[in-house]
Amino acid sequence: MPELPDITIYLEALERRIVGERLERVRINSPFLLRSFEPPIEAVEGRQVVGLRRLGKRIAIGLEEDLWLVLHLMIAGRLHWKAPGAKLGGKYNLAGFDFAQGTLVLTEAGAKRRAALFVVQGSDGLAEHDRGGIDVLAASEVEFEAALRRENHTVKRALADPRLFSGIGNAYSDEILHRAGLSPFVQTQKMTAEQAGRLHTATQQVMAEWIERLREQAGDGFPRDVTAFRPEMAVHGRFGKPCPVCGAPVQRIRYADNETNYCPGCQTGGQILADRSLSRLLKDDWPRHLEEL
């Protein structure tokens, strides 16, 4: 799922292309995409784009008369900038937003249709799509720690909770925890002040660094190859590969559709954290420390 750095670069690319331009037409190619009915989608056609916002992992496009298009890309949704009137053939092309200078195309890979489009009116309608998490790049250490300790969760779950922190998901939470040298299973209300401060610093560093890296990669073009798995990442998606800091093999914990990646050398004092399914299967053969791998 595109997270804060990816969404930021999408917004910067859109600002250069559509702010001040008139949205001539919206073409919906999937009956599952549009999740609202009032105002109707036709209400945005012919109106000028006046602003853009990020709402967590959502992109909000503001138009005249205080109308907003809210795009939630979910896991596999992606945006592309194509020539004016680009065709929407193929099952992955969900919608086209036509401007005089080009067409913004929304695609979604895979069979599941999770990406969503909403049309809302005014600040109240927009607020319904804001989960309320703090802006981690602007938050002070005090504000960050208060959000962190608001509920007692594992730190991995807390970082990815949109009600607590805006725009962090599975991929960048792995990178943040590796930078901070913290186990993903540390309970937030048991963390020391020093650990919370370290996490705050790591969060701002990792997010700022990745925004700048993605900005350089995109240049003046539209972002391409938006993915949660990048070769420059330290641990996310790098199971079995050496940690760039200590060289220990990166480990993973699988659950549902996601997995957590971590370095036992940097984050857990050499301990191998139990995988809920595999550790039960292996029982006594499950390695509990780096030395047993």
User: What is the C-alpha separation between 137 and 97, in angstroms, rounded?
Assistant: 30
Q: Is the pTM of this model over 0.85?
A: yes
Model pLDDT, residue 108: 94
Residues 6+ apart with CB under 8 A from 231: none
pLDDT in tens, 154-210: 999 999 999 999 999 999 999 999 999 999 999 999 999 999 999 999 999 999 999
For residues 281 and 146, membership in a common domain is answered with yes
For residues 117 and 9, membership in a common domain is answered with yes
Structural domain count of the chain: 2
Q: Are 207 and 139 in contact (CB under 8 A)?
A: no
For residues 230 and 275, membership in a common domain is answered with yes
Q: Please indicate, yes or no, if residue 134 is contained in any of the structural domains.
A: no
For residues 165 and 196, membership in a common domain is answered with yes
Could you tell me which of 162, 209, 199 has the C-alpha nearest to residue 179?
199
For residues 101 and 189, membership in a common domain is answered with no
For residues 283 and 229, membership in a common domain is answered with yes
Model pLDDT, residue 288: 60
Q: Are 48 and 61 in contact (CB under 8 A)?
A: no
Alpha helices in 149-238 (DSSP H): 155-159, 170-180, 193-218
Indicate if the pLDDT at residue 223 is higher than 60. Answer: yes
282 — pLDDT class (breaks 50, 70, 90): very low
User: What is the C-alpha separation between 114 and 17, in angstroms, rounded?
Assistant: 26
Model pLDDT, residue 274: 80
List the domain range (segments joined by +) for residue 149.
141-292
For residues 80 and 191, membership in a common domain is answered with no
Q: Please indicate, yes or no, if residue 133 is contained in any of the structural domains.
A: no
Tell me the average pLDDT of the chain: 92
Q: Are 245 and 233 in contact (CB under 8 A)?
A: no
φ/ψ of 162, rounded to 5, equals: -65, -15
Query: How many percent of the chain have pLDDT more than 70?
Result: 93
pLDDT in tens, 44-83: 999 999 999 999 999 999 999 999 999 999 999 999 999 9
104 — pLDDT class (breaks 50, 70, 90): very high
Indicate if the pLDDT at residue 144 is higher than 90. Answer: yes
- Which of 127, 158, 173 terminates a domain? The answer is 127
Q: Are 72 and 54 in contact (CB under 8 A)?
A: no
Indicate if the pLDDT at residue 98 is higher than 80. Answer: yes
